[in-house]
Amino acid sequence: MKASAGKRVLMWLENNPYPGDPRVRQEAEVLVSSGYQVSVICPASPKQPWREKIDGVYVIRYPAPPAANSFLGYLWEYGYSFLASFVLSLLVSFHPGFDVIHAANPPDTAVFIAAFYKLFGKRFVYDHHDLAPEMYWARFGGKGNRFVHQMLIQLEKLSCRLADHVIAANESYKTVEMQRGRVPEERITIVRNGPDLDLLKPGEPAPNLFQKGEVIIGFAGTMGIQDGVDYLLKALHCLLKDLERTDFYCVMIGKGIAWTSLQALATDLDLNEHVWFTGYIPDADLIKYLSTVDICVDPDPSNPFNNRCTMIKMMEYMAFGKPIVAFDLPEHRVTAQDAALYARPNDELDFARQIVALMDDPERRRFMGQQGRERVEKELAWSYQKEFLLDMYAKLCASV
């Protein structure tokens, strides 16, 4: 379908390749299916072409910079990515063109690209994926550079104020945007990270996994410094040593910058016989493993960042009908409700106790898993969330 004038969208993505970011992929695909012309600028994964069309989405990529883990590293990563993105945006502006620039943070440096194009009448949608200031503070354990933290706050404020519309991930983000960003409520639309139930649903179990232990525990997600996987390992150590339970096995799916150090921590905690770090795995294997596990875990600790975040992995667990153990964080309760047991924030021993409560009660596990699946099916799934996105775009583009 040929997009009409005013329905051409350029999506900017810096911290993930496309189509690797599920939220951006879902947004782009639903816009295309609704008659929009969508282009995406992003870094390239190894062996990805610099330009291709995927399911109707035009993708143009630049070589990804090395992963940063220091102040100078971040300056280089963001500076290089900004310049590369700006150059590619100029190419897209000539062909196929765009009327709306849709920037997914982090980082919030896309606001300068958006500001340039607003001079030519383009609209700016700020897709607020992460609270960058709080995420930075969590990443460095509250010991980051205060100047950098303040700079991130100012970039977020500028993004909020220049945006023609802001997409919030949940009510907590909307509150930040209204209070810190001074965005009027009518310029904010909440679009949650709803799972796609056509892709995420229980399937055949993996025999090689369920034979590993009487109760299988599962984690699937990013293993960064702020993601709390170290809390999970310490909770499993409490499960083994303090609660004297040996009838479990934990599969840990995913990777991240803390992956190597987490494997070393597992060795130090004498957990190697009870945990398996799979790294990244194909989607087919992910479905098999999550279909096999008895209990899923979300160990994100309490801090100003996680307290406001809706965790994608939690809704994925619910889509598979699995009971969850998590720390008692505000947005965790909003998301999972009765599908999770909540441990005292950042208390590894209590986290282990909640796991035991589910290990010893298969009927409770079944009931909680059913509650979670029904909640996703009736309210949280992407099939519901995409309607908020489309309604927002219809109103925005009507005035372009």
In this structure, the answer to whether residues 369 and 389 fall within a common structural domain is: no
- Domain-located, residue 366: yes
Tokens matching residue 215:
């109760």
For residue 39, what is the enclosing H or E element? Answer: strand 37-44
Q: Is the pLDDT of residue 70 over 80?
A: no
Q: Which residues pair with 41 in a beta bridge?
A: 12, 60
Place 139 in a pLDDT band, splitting at 50, 70 and 90.
confident
Mean pLDDT of 168-184: 97
In this structure, the answer to whether residues 387 and 353 fall within a common structural domain is: no
Chain mean pLDDT for the chain? 93
Give every strand in the sheet of 100-104, ordered side by side. 51-54, 57-63, 37-44, 8-13, 100-104, 123-128, 165-168, 188-190
- The Cα–Cα gap between 126 and 310 comes to 18
CATH number of the CATH domain containing 84: 3.40.50.2000
Predicted pLDDT of residue 68:
66
Tokens matching residue 54:
């995927």
Predicted pLDDT of residue 248:
96
In this structure, the answer to whether residues 269 and 288 fall within a common structural domain is: yes
- Domain-located, residue 202: no
Predicted pLDDT of residue 6:
72
Domain containing 151: what range?
Answer: 8-194+382-398
- Domain-located, residue 150: yes
Q: Is the pLDDT of residue 2 over 60?
A: no
Place 1 in a pLDDT band, splitting at 50, 70 and 90.
very low
354 neighbors 341 (Cβ within 8 angstroms)? yes
Q: Is 43 helix (H, G, I), strand (E, B) or coil?
A: strand
Length of the chain: 400
- The Cα–Cα gap between 17 and 13 comes to 7
Place 201 in a pLDDT band, splitting at 50, 70 and 90.
confident
Is pLDDT larger for residue 39 or for residue 149? 39
Place 400 in a pLDDT band, splitting at 50, 70 and 90.
low
292 neighbors 205 (Cβ within 8 angstroms)? yes
Q: List CB contacts of 220: < 8 A, sequence separation 6 or more.
A: 253, 254, 286, 289, 290, 296, 313, 316, 317
288 neighbors 208 (Cβ within 8 angstroms)? no
217 neighbors 194 (Cβ within 8 angstroms)? no
In this structure, the answer to whether residues 24 and 125 fall within a common structural domain is: yes
Mean pLDDT of 12-29: 92
Instruction: Name the one residue in this structure whose structure tokens are 């720390």.
Output: 327
For residue 189, what is the enclosing H or E element? Answer: strand 188-190
In this structure, the answer to whether residues 38 and 183 fall within a common structural domain is: yes
Least confident window among 74-88, 161-175, 270-284, 357-371: 74-88
Least confident window among 65-69, 135-139, 201-205: 65-69
- The Cα–Cα gap between 27 and 12 comes to 12
Q: Is the pLDDT of residue 355 over 50?
A: yes
Residues 80-129 have pLDDT tens digits of: 999 999 999 999 999 999 999 999 998 899 999 999 999 999 999 999 99
- The Cα–Cα gap between 267 and 129 comes to 34
Tokens matching residue 380:
């949280």
In this structure, the answer to whether residues 93 and 139 fall within a common structural domain is: yes
Residues 257-287 have pLDDT tens digits of: 899 999 999 999 999 999 999 999 998 999 9
In this structure, the answer to whether residues 150 and 187 fall within a common structural domain is: yes
- Domain-located, residue 387: yes
- Domain-located, residue 2: no
Residues 230-260 have pLDDT tens digits of: 999 999 999 999 999 999 999 999 998 899 9
Count of domains observed in the chain: 2
101 neighbors 142 (Cβ within 8 angstroms)? no
In this structure, the answer to whether residues 157 and 212 fall within a common structural domain is: no
In this structure, the answer to whether residues 31 and 112 fall within a common structural domain is: yes
Helical pair 348-359 and 229-237, crossing angle rounded to 10 deg? 70
For residue 287, what is the enclosing H or E element? Answer: helix 283-292
- Domain-located, residue 3: no
Q: Is the pLDDT of residue 340 over 60?
A: yes
In this structure, the answer to whether residues 392 and 357 fall within a common structural domain is: no
In this structure, the answer to whether residues 251 and 369 fall within a common structural domain is: yes
Tokens matching residue 140:
């460095």
- Domain-located, residue 199: no
- Domain-located, residue 1: no
In this structure, the answer to whether residues 77 and 221 fall within a common structural domain is: no
Omega before 184 within 30 of 0, i.e. cis: no
Q: Is the pLDDT of residue 184 over 60?
A: yes
